[in-house]
Structure 1
Amino acid sequence: FPGVGEFSIWEFSGQIQYFATYEHFIWDISAIHIVVFSLKDTYETQMEQVCYWLNFIHTVSAEKEPIGFAAVPVHKPTVLLVATHADIVNSPRAFSGEYVSGVGSVVFHEMKNKRMFSTFPVLTWQQFLDGVHRDLNPLVSQDHLREITQQLHCLGEVVCFETDVLQDLIVIDPKWLCTSLIGQLLSHDSMDQSCLAGCFSFSHVQLYFPETDAVDIFQLLEAMDMCTHSPRGGMYEFPCVIHGEPVHNLWEVGEGARRNLVYGGVRMLAPGQVCPLPEGLFPRLQVCLRRCYQMETEEQQEPVILWYRGAKCNIGRAEAMISLSDDGKALEVVVRGLSDSRKETFRILEELMGIVYQVLSDVYPGLFLVKHVLSPSQLKSHDANITSYSFASILASQGEDNTLKPNDDRGVEESFSDVFCFGSEEVFSRASVGRDIHVSYLSTHTRRELCRMLDPPDPMGRDWCLLAISLGLMESLPQLDTSSSPQGSPTDRTLQLWGSRESSTIGTLLDCLKTLGRKDVVDVIMSEAPLF
C-alpha cells in the first residue's frame, strides 16, 4: 500500500478454541478492524457472523468515564466490513483503510538485532530494562521506556502482559506467540492428543517445543489467563479446549437431603439478547474459578469440576453451579447450602458474582449484563424451566405484600428474603430492594443510555434540564449545562449532583421521569436497574 507507512496485520481465526485469547490482541483505538464474511453463506449466517464480531469489538473496546454528550464516544473503533467470494456470486466488492504508525519501532528492531532471546522470545520487564540499559541507552528512565513499550504494544510490534503473580512479561516476537505457540498448541491435531478435561502435561508441551522449557511456556500462558494448575499433578488445565460433558447426576441430591437445603441464584443476560455472549468469556471465568477455589474442601471433594460451558464449585458447606445456556446468551449462577447457614450461602453467591463482574471488567468492559433473580422454590424442586424475576416484576410487588409469584400453574408465593438472600432475615434487614436502591448503583451502561436519550434537546422540553428542575436542582442549572463543553454530559452531571444526597433513590428518579412523560427512559431503567 504505497504511502500508507508501516503497519501490522493480525488475523483472528474463527475456531472457537482460540477465542479466549483474542482480547489480548485488540489494543489501540487507531486500529482498523476488518470483519470478513462470505457472500456464499445465507443471509442469516452472514448477519449472525457479522453481528457477533461487531459485538465482540464493542465489548473489548468500550470507553471509560467520563460520559460524553449524548453518550457519543470520543474514540469509536474503525470497522470495515469485507465480503468475500464476490466473483462467484457476481457481486462487486470494495474497501479502503489506513493504518498510521507511531514512533518507537527503532527500539524494537535494535532489541531484535541484539538477539536478547534465543528460542523463547519472552522477557520479564526487568530483563527488558536491563537489556536496554546495557545495549542501547543506560540513561533511559523506566517511565519513558514503559511509554515507548506501550506504543510498540499498540502497534503490534510487541505484546505486553501484566500479571499479579509473576513479573510483567514482554513478547518480542508476536508472530511466534500467535502462530508457533498458540496456533500449534490449540490446533485440532494437538487437542486430539489431550484428554477431554482440556489438560496438557509438561511432557506433552515439551514434545511440541523441544527447544524451550515447558515451564516458561506455561508461565506465559498463565499470564495470559489461558490456563491454570490442574488438580491432576504435573498438568495444566486449558478451559478453552475443554469439550467434555458433565458427570451424570452431578447436581442431584436425595429428597431427604434436599429438604435441609436452601437454594438461590441469578441469570445474567445482555439486554435484547441479540447475540450470544463472547466465546472467550466462560473459559476466562473457569480459569478464575479454578484459581479462587483450588484448595480441597473438608470432605476431600474436588473443589472445582469443569466441563464445556459449565462448572461446579464446592465451597465450604455450600455448592455452586455456574453454566452457560445452550444458545450462549445467558449465564446462570446457582448456589445451595444448609438451612442453618443461610448468611454464609448468600455471601458465597455474592462472591461468585464478584468474580463474574471482575472478569467482565477486565476482559469485556463494554459488555453489560442484566441480572435476574431465579425462583428458589423452583431451583429446589429442580424444575426444568426456572422463573426469573426482573426489576420490573419486583417493583410491581414492592408496594403490595413484598411477595413474588412465579409464572407457573403452582402459584407459589415467595418472600423477598427467600428470593434475594436465602431466607436470611439478618441479611435482608440491611438490604435495599427495588425502588429503594440509591441511584448511585445504576451501572455506567445505564447512565450512558440515559445520557444518550436525555442530553439532546427535546421538542417538548422533556430533556435533562426539566429533569434537573424536577429533582430540585434548578439553582444548579448553570453549572450543569455543558453546552460550552460538548464533551461532557449534562444528564450525567445532574445524576452525580443529585446522587450526592442520601435520599436519592431509583424509585424517586422513576417517578420524576414518569411525570415528565419519558416512558422510553423509564423502560431503560426498569430493564437494567439492579435488583437489590
Structure 2
Amino acid sequence: MLEDDETALHCASARGHIECVQCLVESGASVDSQDQNGQTALHLALRRSHIDIALYLISKECDMNICDANADTPIHIACRLGLNSVVQMLCHLGAEVDCVNANGETPLHIAAKEGHIEIVRCLCFVGASTQAKNKDGLTPEIVAITKEQPLIAQLLAKIKNESARTDFVDQLCPAETPLRRIKLKIFGNSQSGKTRMIQSLQGQGMIGNLINAVSRRFSDNNSQTSPSKVASDEGIHSCASSSASTDSSDRHWPLSRPTHSSYTKGIDVMPITLSTGDEFSVWEFGGYDSYHVCYDHFVGNTDCIHIITIRADDATEIQYRQALYWMNFLKGRVTPSEPIGHRGIVARRSKVVIVATHSSQSVLNGCEKTSDGYYTNSDAEAMMKTIRLRFETHFDVFERLMFIESTNNNCPGLKMFKEYLKVTREELLGRLQRPLVLLDACITYLSTLRKRYQAFPVITWLHFTNLIRDEVNPLASDSHCQSLIHQLQLIGEVVYLRDETAEIDYVVITPEWLGTHIMGTLLSADFLAQCRESGCYSPDDFTSIFPEISEPTDLTNILATLHHEITVGTKIRSLLSRTPFPSFPFRLRIFLQRKRTDCLCSPLDASENESNIVYEFPAFLFSEPPRDVWSKDKSNYVYGGMRILPMRGMESTLQSTFPRLQVAMRNQLHDYRDPCEVSLQQWQGISKLTSNKMEAIVRLNGDAVEIQVRGPPKMAPSCIYFLEDIAGVVEQTTTEIAPGISLERHFLSPKHLKEHVSNPANFPPEIIMSMQQKESLSIINSDGEEELFTDVVCFGSRAVAAMLTLGIDMSVSQLTLPSRCELAALLDPPDAMGRDWSILAVKLNLAETLPEVDSTGQSISQTDQLISEWSIKCPETATVGKFCAILEEMGRSDARDALYRTVPLYMFADVLHDEQQLGGSGQQIITSQRDTATSIADSGVLLSSAPRSSSTLSN
C-alpha cells in the first residue's frame, strides 16, 4: 500500500489493466479498500471509463454504495460520464439511487444535467425520486430546463404523477401470459390450395370461401396499376422455378403465365383465429416463380410453423418434387445454430408440416385410416419417411402427411391439422420469453399509425422509437424498444429492415403493404409482361404504378434497403490487401470489401444526384446477350473457370438467387475509384465483367453459377485474383441469402474453355482433394483427360501456386457448421461394423475421452466433440488431410467425400506486404520461403508438407 492508501488494485483499476485486476481479486485483494480520497477501485475505474473493469468489480460483489470524499457513490460517477451499461447493472443489483453527494445531487440530478436521457429512463424505472431537490432547491426537471435539455425535461414532466409512472413501469415488465399469436408461414406451388386452406382454418364454408377469394383478389387487382409507358416483351423468362425439374440442362428457366388469374401475389399477410381461440398471423407465400427472389427476407426465424402444401390428386412424383423444392428452399434460408446435437441435429429446429390439399373422397378411398385417425397410404408413408430422414438435422417434420379437403369443414384431416397447430403453437410459445405488457398497448397504437401513414407505411427506426416514447410510454429504453420490435415481428405486426450502408433502419408497419402491394405488384406476371427489357427505371417511373406514394425516391430507397450486410472473411481480406501484383487493378482488389446483397435494384451510376438516378432491376432483365458476348478470337489467352453448385441433394436452390448476384456485382462498381477500370454488362441470366484486358463471364447454367475468366498470358497471376474475387461475390452473396446452403467449386477444364467446348469437362472437389492427398500435381477431369493443377486453378502461374495453402492443410477447428453437421450425421449413429465415432476416438488417440463424450448422450454430437478436442490437443497435426486419411482407414469413404466437398480446396497463404513487384516478363520477386514451394512445384509434385504460412481461412 502506498502513502495515499492506494493499493495495487487501485493502480490496476485506474490504469485499465483488466488482467491485473482479475489476478489481484482472485488472489484475495479487497475490492472495497479506499484510498485517502475515499475512492474504491470501482470509483477509479469509473472515473476513467474502464467499463470492463467496473463490471468485473461489480460482479465480484463489491460495495456499490461506498461514498468518496465528495460523497459520490459509483452510480453518481457513472451517471456523470454517461456509462449506461454500468448504471443498468448497478440498478439491477439494487444500488441506492436517491443518495445525495456533497452538492445535494442525486444520480438523477446529474444525469438530467449532463443530458443522458437513457440513464434518466433507467433511474426513473427503478424508482428514483423526481421531486428530490439539490442544494439550490432544484428538482431534476428544473435542472434539465436550466441546462437546456428539453427532451429530459419533457420526460420528467410526464412521470411526475406517481400513478402514471407506476403504469408506465408496469408496461415495461414481462406479462403473465405468452404472446397472443405466432406466425404460420405457408409455402407451395400455385394452385396447391394454400388460400383455400387458410379460409377453411377460419371455419368458412364453400360459399364463404368463394366470396372472400373473389373480393380479396378483386381488391388486389384494382390496387395494381400497370405502367403506362413501357415496352412490351412477349418472351418472359426467369431464373427461378419451383416447379422446374431437377434436370437442369437449360440455361434459362421460362416463366410462364400463371395458370389462373387469382394467384397469390407476393406475400399475403392476415391474422386468423381458429375455432379453439388460438391466434395466428398467416403469411401465405405466393407460388408464382418470380416472387421467390425476395422471400429470404421473410424466412429464417425458427419460432413459427412452416406449412408446405401439395395436391393430393397430383402424381406422387410431382408431390415429392414440389415438397422437396420447398424443403430445400427453407433449409437454405434458415440459419443453423449451435450446439450440434446427436446425429447432426441443430439447436432449435424449425417446425414443418406437409399438407395434402384437395383430398376428396375419391382420393381418401385409396387410403387407409390409422388407429390414431390419420389417413395414409404407402406412397405417402414412403415420401414422409424419406423427407424426415433427409431433413431431420434441420427440421422437426411432422411424421404424417395431412390429408385435408378445404371445402369440407367437417373433414377429419382438418380437425387433426387444427389440433397439430394448437399443440405446436403451445410448444413454441413455451420456449419464447414472455412479452412486455407494453406490447398490447403498442398493437393498439399501430392501428393509429397505419391510418396516419396509410399511403407509405414505412418509418425510420429512430422515428418509431420516438413515437413510442412520445405517445405510448416515455420510459421505454433502447433495450425495451428492441425487445418490442422483436416481439412485434414474432406476431407478424411489422417488418424490420436494416440498412447498414446508410445506417438507417426502417419499420414497415403494414407488412401486407410490402408483401402484397409492392412486391406482389413489381414481380407479378402483369408487370413483368410489360416491363422494360433493359430492367432500368428511375424513381419517377414508379409514379404511375404507385400514385399514392408522393415521393417515389422513398420507394426506391426501401427496395434498395432489402439487403443484408456481408462481412468479408479473413481469407479474402488478406488476399485482397496483400496481392503483390500491380497489374491487378487496385480497386478490383477491394471487390469484396463492402458488399451488399440488395433485394431488387442497384443504381446504375451512384455518382448521379438523387433526381437523375436510374436503378437497374436484374429481376426485370429480359434482354438476351449479343451473339459475340464471348468471342472465339482470343486463342492466345489463358483460360480458367469454375461452376459453383449447391451441395448434393439441394438442386434448384440457386436459380432464384441469380438476380441478387447481379445486383451485388453492380454494387461493387460504386466502390471503385476509377469506374473505367472495370465495366459490367448484364442481361437475363448472364453478366460480363471487363478489367483491362481481362474478361469474365458469369452465367446461370442449370443448377450452377458458371464463371469463366480469360486474359493475356502475362496477366495470368491477375486472372486468378479476378476469378477469386468474382467467385467470392457469388459465394458470399449466396451464403447471405441462403446461409443453410453449402457450396461446391467444380473447376472447369482450361483446355476445353480455350477450345470453346459447349459442355467443358470439370474437376469435382473430391477429385482435387484426392489429388492433394496423393501429393500429385496432375488431375483427371470428368472426361478422363489429365491436366496440371496449376493450369486448372492458377492459369498456369507457378508464382500464384507457390502462395497456395492446400485444403488438406486446413485445421479441423475451422470446419464450417454444415460440414460438422454432415460428419455428425454420418458418424454419430452406431455402425454395424463399429466404424463410428467410438473407433474414431481411438484413431485420434482420444480413447481416454470416450467416457466423458459418451456421457453427453443425445444432447451433443459425439463426433463434433471429438473433432473439437482433437483440434485443441493436437493443433499442429489436426488437419483436414489427416482426418480424411483416418476416415479412409476406417472404411468411411462416405464421410471422407462429404468433407472433401465442403472444405475450401485451397487458401491463399499470408504474403509479406512489402515492395514485391512483377518484372516486365511477369516473373515475381518472391521470398525464399516461396522459392522452396516453387522448386517443389517445378519437380512435378506439389507436397502438402512444403513450408507455408498458417491458414488464413476464416469462418
TM-score, structure 2 as length reference? 0.52
**2:619 paired residue among 240, 245, 261:** 240
Contact kept, 8 Å, 2:654 with 2:704, in 1: the verdict is no
Partner of 2:924: none
Q: Are residue 361 (structure 1) and residue 738 (structure 2) matched?
A: no
Partner of 1:108: 443
Q: What is the distance in 1 between the residues matched to 2:670 and 2:509?
A: 32
User: 1:161-186 CA distances to partner (integer Å, 9 max, x unpaired)?
Assistant: 11222311110000111122111222
Q: What is the distance in 1 between the residues matched to 2:731 and 2:516?
A: 31
Report the 3-state secondary structure (helix = DSSP H, G, I; strand = E; otherwise coil) of the residue aligned with 1:163: coil
Cα deviation for residue 437 of structure 1 reads 4.0
Which structure 2 residues correspond to residues 292-303 of structure 1 after superposition, within 5 A? 292-294=668-670, 300=676, 303=679
Cα deviation for residue 149 of structure 1 reads 0.3
User: 1:241-286 CA distances to partner (integer Å, 9 max, x unpaired)?
Assistant: 32222222101141xx430x22222212233355312443112111
Cα deviation for residue 119 of structure 1 reads 1.4
Partner of 1:34: 307
Q: What is the distance in 1 between the residues matched to 2:693 and 2:886?
A: 45
Cα deviation for residue 353 of structure 1 reads 2.2
Between the aligned residues of both structures, percent identity stands at: 33
Partner of 1:350: 724
Q: What is the distance in 2 between the residues matched to 1:239 and 1:2?
A: 45
Q: What is the distance in 1 between the residues matched to 2:740 and 2:555?
A: 30
Cα deviation for residue 132 of structure 1 reads 0.9
Contact kept, 8 Å, 1:454 with 1:464, in 2: the verdict is yes
Residues 1:499 and 1:258: Cα distance change in structure 2 (over 3 Å): farther
Q: Are residue 305 (structure 1) and residue 640 (structure 2) matched?
A: no
Which deviates more, 3-12 or 106-115?
106-115
Q: What is the distance in 2 between the residues matched to 1:486 and 1:449?
A: 16
Residues 1:526 and 1:27: Cα distance change in structure 2 (over 3 Å): closer
Between 1 and 2, higher relative CO (CA 8 Å, sep ≥ 6) is seen in 1
Q: What is the distance in 2 between the residues matched to 1:437 and 1:295?
A: 32
Q: What is the distance in 2 between the residues matched to 1:484 and 1:297?
A: 55
Q: What is the distance in 2 between the residues matched to 1:319 and 1:502?
A: 40
Report the 3-state secondary structure (helix = DSSP H, G, I; strand = E; otherwise coil) of the residue aligned with 1:276: coil
**1:128 paired residue among 464, 481, 492:** 464
**1:208 paired residue among 533, 542, 545:** 545
Q: What is the distance in 1 between the residues matched to 2:358 and 2:866?
A: 52
Cα deviation for residue 60 of structure 1 reads 1.0
Q: What is the distance in 1 between the residues matched to 2:839 and 2:783?
A: 42
Which structure 2 residues correspond to residues 212-291 of structure 1 after superposition, within 5 A? 212=549, 213-224=551-562, 225=598, 226-231=600-605, 234-254=613-633, 257-259=634-636, 261-273=637-649, 275-291=651-667
Q: What is the distance in 2 between the residues matched to 1:304 and 1:435?
A: 36
**2:713 paired residue among 315, 325, 339:** 339
Number of aligned positions between the proteins:
524
Q: What is the distance in 2 between the residues matched to 1:72 and 1:332?
A: 32
Q: Are residue 504 (structure 1) and residue 855 (structure 2) matched?
A: no
Which deviates more, 34-43 or 7-16?
34-43
Cα deviation for residue 107 of structure 1 reads 1.2
Residues 1:301 and 1:205: Cα distance change in structure 2 (over 3 Å): farther
Q: What is the distance in 2 between the residues matched to 1:273 and 1:476?
A: 34
Contact kept, 8 Å, 1:40 with 1:89, in 2: the verdict is no
Partner of 1:145: 481
Report the 3-state secondary structure (helix = DSSP H, G, I; strand = E; otherwise coil) of the residue aligned with 2:360: coil
User: 1:108-132 CA distances to partner (integer Å, 9 max, x unpaired)?
Assistant: 3313325552411101111111111
Q: What is the distance in 1 between the residues matched to 2:733 and 2:801?
A: 27
Q: Are residue 439 (structure 1) and residue 812 (structure 2) matched?
A: yes
Residues 1:113 and 1:211: Cα distance change in structure 2 (over 3 Å): same
Contact kept, 8 Å, 2:604 with 2:616, in 1: the verdict is yes
Partner of 2:139: none
**1:406 paired residue among 761, 768, 781:** 781
User: 1:8-33 CA distances to partner (integer Å, 9 max, x unpaired)?
Assistant: 11111122221111111124313222
Partner of 1:323: 699
Report the 3-state secondary structure (helix = DSSP H, G, I; strand = E; otherwise coil) of the residue aligned with 1:432: strand
Partner of 1:190: 527
Cα deviation for residue 301 of structure 1 reads 8.7
Residues 1:113 and 1:396: Cα distance change in structure 2 (over 3 Å): closer
Residues 1:146 and 1:188: Cα distance change in structure 2 (over 3 Å): same
Report the 3-state secondary structure (helix = DSSP H, G, I; strand = E; otherwise coil) of the residue aligned with 2:282: coil
Which structure 2 residues correspond to residues 79-90 of structure 1 after superposition, within 5 A? 79-87=352-360, 90=363
Which deviates more, 29-38 or 166-175?
29-38
Partner of 1:382: 756
Q: What is the distance in 2 between the residues matched to 1:462 and 1:325?
A: 39
Residues 1:269 and 1:122: Cα distance change in structure 2 (over 3 Å): same
Q: What is the distance in 1 between the residues matched to 2:752 and 2:869?
A: 42
**2:344 paired residue among 60, 65, 71:** 71
Q: What is the distance in 1 between the residues matched to 2:860 and 2:808?
A: 28
User: 1:388-423 CA distances to partner (integer Å, 9 max, x unpaired)?
Assistant: 1123323454436411243448x4x42211111222
Contact kept, 8 Å, 1:294 with 1:303, in 2: the verdict is no
Contact kept, 8 Å, 1:303 with 1:314, in 2: the verdict is yes
Cα deviation for residue 83 of structure 1 reads 2.3
Cα deviation for residue 354 of structure 1 reads 2.0
Q: What is the distance in 1 between the residues matched to 2:793 and 2:814?
A: 17
Q: Are residue 474 (structure 1) and residue 851 (structure 2) matched?
A: no
User: 1:327-362 CA distances to partner (integer Å, 9 max, x unpaired)?
Assistant: xx2221222233222222212222222222222332
Q: Letter of the 1:393 partner, please give it.
A: I
Q: What is the distance in 1 between the residues matched to 2:495 and 2:817?
A: 29
User: 1:502-526 CA distances to partner (integer Å, 9 max, x unpaired)?
Assistant: 2222221122122223233223234
Q: What is the distance in 1 between the residues matched to 2:635 and 2:323?
A: 46
Contact kept, 8 Å, 1:320 with 1:336, in 2: the verdict is yes
Q: What is the distance in 1 between the residues matched to 2:722 and 2:465?
A: 42
Partner of 1:531: 905
TM-score, structure 1 as length reference? 0.90
Q: What is the distance in 2 between the residues matched to 1:141 and 1:361?
A: 34
**1:487 paired residue among 828, 851, 859:** 859
Pairwise CA RMSD: 2.7
Q: Are residue 117 (structure 1) and residue 390 (structure 2) matched?
A: no
Contact kept, 8 Å, 2:731 with 2:743, in 1: the verdict is no
Q: Letter of the 2:282 partner, please give it.
A: I
User: 1:410-461 CA distances to partner (integer Å, 9 max, x unpaired)?
Assistant: x4x4221111122221221121335444434543222111112222344544
Cα deviation for residue 382 of structure 1 reads 1.3
Unmatched runs of 5 consecutive residues or more in structure 1? none
Q: What is the distance in 2 between the residues matched to 1:19 and 1:456?
A: 36
Cα deviation for residue 296 of structure 1 reads 8.1
Residues 1:407 and 1:133: Cα distance change in structure 2 (over 3 Å): closer
Which deviates more, 2-11 or 291-300?
291-300
Cα deviation for residue 39 of structure 1 reads 3.6
Q: Letter of the 1:249 partner, please give it.
A: D
Cα deviation for residue 494 of structure 1 reads 1.8
Contact kept, 8 Å, 1:229 with 1:237, in 2: the verdict is yes
Residues 1:511 and 1:84: Cα distance change in structure 2 (over 3 Å): same
Unmatched runs of 5 consecutive residues or more in structure 2? 1-273, 365-402, 405-412, 563-597, 907-955
Q: What is the distance in 1 between the residues matched to 2:729 and 2:277?
A: 43
Q: What is the distance in 2 between the residues matched to 1:275 and 1:400?
A: 32
Q: What is the distance in 1 between the residues matched to 2:692 and 2:671?
A: 10
Residues 1:156 and 1:293: Cα distance change in structure 2 (over 3 Å): same
Q: What is the distance in 2 between the residues matched to 1:419 and 1:111?
A: 59
Contact kept, 8 Å, 1:28 with 1:155, in 2: the verdict is no
Q: Letter of the 2:443 partner, please give it.
A: F
Q: What is the distance in 2 between the residues matched to 1:355 and 1:302?
A: 15
Residues 1:475 and 1:46: Cα distance change in structure 2 (over 3 Å): closer
